[in-house]
Amino acid sequence: MKEDKHLYILWTNSDILTSKHMVMMYATNAMLRKWWDNVTVIIWGATAKLAAEDEDIQMSIKMAMQAGVEFTACVACANNLEVKEDLEKLNIEVIPWGIGLTEILQNNQKLITI
């Protein structure tokens, strides 16, 4: 059986320092240094607003995407915070995530929650 080398990062903490110095730093380096085959950052809650409005975070997201990190966001959060279109302009996938997160957890896939 092939080892699962896909990491999901559930990003819910909108603290700018945590966002830059943990989420973005680890996700980007994980791809550049080939620690994981795939890294997907799931934007959930207040981080949707942070990603949509903070230019420094947007630059970090673009750099992470260039390294191969995938970004996706919870559509309910994006709609509630009125940032869905802003996230889509950043090439962030905006979809329902409740079932997907449940499947990740039930299948014991690799998940970090920040």
- Supply 58's token pair: 């947007």
Q: Give the pLDDT of residue 2.
A: 55
Give the H/E segment covering residue 43.
strand 38-43
- CATH number for the domain spanning 52: value is 3.40.1260.10
Which tens digit of pLDDT belongs to each residue from 15-45? 999 999 999 999 999 999 999 999 999 999 9
Residue 70 lies in a domain: yes
Is 13 among the domain residues? no
Task: Report if residue 64 sits inside a domain.
Answer: yes
How many domains is the chain built from? Answer: 1
80 lies in which domain range?
Answer: 38-93
Within-domain flag for 63:
yes
Note whether residue 57 is domain-resident: yes
Q: Is 87 domain-assigned?
A: yes
Question: Whole-prediction pTM value?
Answer: 0.96
Instruction: Answer yes or no: is 98 within a domain.
Output: no
| Cα–Cα nearest to 88, from 63, 59, 51 | 51
| Residue 71 maps to a domain | yes
Q: What is the mean pLDDT of residues 40-64?
A: 98
| pLDDT for res 4 | 77
- Residue range 77-94: average pLDDT? 98
Q: Which pLDDT score is estimated for 1?
A: 39
Give the SS3 label for residue 3. coil
**Residues in CB range of 93: below 8 A, 6 or more apart:** 70, 71, 72, 73
